């Protein structure tokens, strides 16, 4: 599983709301392009915008036809609609095709326990599931007239999950990798896909944040941009750089 972890202070240098949203959108795009399974937000008390970042990441990962059902109007999403779509396989059009797998949301639970699912068209489909009202489900379209669906598991990349995790919990993860220009340049044999890549904020590296929080962090450390030509690297740039290396090694080396 490929995970990335960013602090709640990731946007500490930004004041303009549109730029803040844009930067979270870049992180979401990087995660989608390189097939990240999980994005972790770890709280940093110097600036805790955990919920703000989580809202935007979840909104972007959700198919457009389900967003009105799952996301009430809120300040954090004021500009999220301006961001380009992720265009991942789960973001289907409203035109159903028999046999395709798509996302739905449980809209109604009948007295007999039948769940009625919205898959992006006017009609609802019955579904045998234990999920509660408002839950997202992944289904296969069995027929269009009448509309029939069944639960299914996609074989292709389907999107990322968003998770909140305290740094105390994060440091106990296996295969933890910190990214920093202060580290040794990572060599291809060491690059693998089953990792949690941890990033700092624009002002502090991961080890600096951990030290400030009084947390002992022991992890591999990768410098993913040797000989960088700029004094600093933006968070979203570091994420793209690290994930591109992982993707390249995974593709050509067969690493997992």
Tell whether 96 is covered by a domain.
Answer: no
Verify that 76 and 124 share a domain, yes or no. no
**pLDDT, tens digit (0-9, with 9 covering 90-100), for 32-74:** 999 999 999 999 999 999 999 999 999 999 999 999 889 988 8
Verify that 63 and 165 share a domain, yes or no. yes
pTM comes to 0.93
Check which CATH number belongs to the domain holding 117 and give it. 2.40.50.140
Q: What is the pLDDT of residue 71?
A: 92
**What letter does residue 81 receive in the DSSP assignment?**
G
- Outline where DSSP puts E strands in the chain: 3-7, 38-42, 101-109, 115-118, 124-127, 136-144, 147-151, 161-164, 176-179, 196-198, 220-222
**pLDDT, tens digit (0-9, with 9 covering 90-100), for 127-181:** 989 999 999 999 999 999 899 999 999 999 999 999 999 999 999 999 999 998 8
Domain span at residue 213 reads 3-86+159-253
**What letter does residue 131 receive in the DSSP assignment?**
P
Q: What is the pLDDT of residue 59?
A: 97
Q: What is the pLDDT of residue 72?
A: 87
Judge whether residue 256 has pLDDT over 60: no
Alpha carbon distance, N-terminus to C-terminus of the chain: 8
């Amino acid at each position: 599983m490929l995970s990335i972890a960013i602090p709640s202070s990731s946007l500490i240098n930004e004041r303009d709301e549109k730029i803040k949203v844009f930067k979270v959108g870049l992180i979401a795009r990087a995660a989608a392009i390189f097939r990240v399974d999980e994005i972790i937000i770890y709280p940093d008390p110097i600036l805790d915008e955990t919920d703000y970042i989580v809202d935007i990441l979840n909104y972007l990962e959700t198919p457009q036809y389900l967003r009105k059902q799952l996301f009430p109007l809120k300040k954090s999403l004021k500009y999220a609609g301006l961001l380009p779509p992720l265009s991942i396989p789960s973001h289907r059009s409203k035109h159903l095709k028999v046999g395709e797998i798509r996302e739905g949301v449980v809209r109604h639970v009948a007295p007999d326990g039948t769940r009625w699912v919205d898959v992006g068209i006017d009609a609802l489909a019955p579904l045998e599931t234990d999920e509660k009202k408002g839950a997202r489900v992944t289904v296969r379209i069995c027929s269009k007239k009448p509309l029939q669906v069944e639960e299914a598991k996609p074989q292709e990349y389907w999107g990322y999950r968003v998770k909140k995790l305290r740094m105390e919990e994060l440091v106990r993860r296996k295969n933890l990798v910190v990214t920093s220009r202060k580290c040794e340049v990572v060599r291809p044999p060491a690059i693998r896909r089953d990792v949690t890549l941890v990033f700092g904020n624009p002002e502090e590296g991961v080890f600096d944040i951990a030290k400030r929080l009084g947390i002992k962090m022991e992890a591999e450390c990768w410098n993913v941009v040797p000989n960088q030509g700029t004094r600093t690297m933006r968070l979203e740039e570091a994420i793209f750089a690290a994930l591109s290396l992982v993707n390249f090694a995974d593709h050509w080396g067969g690493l997992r």
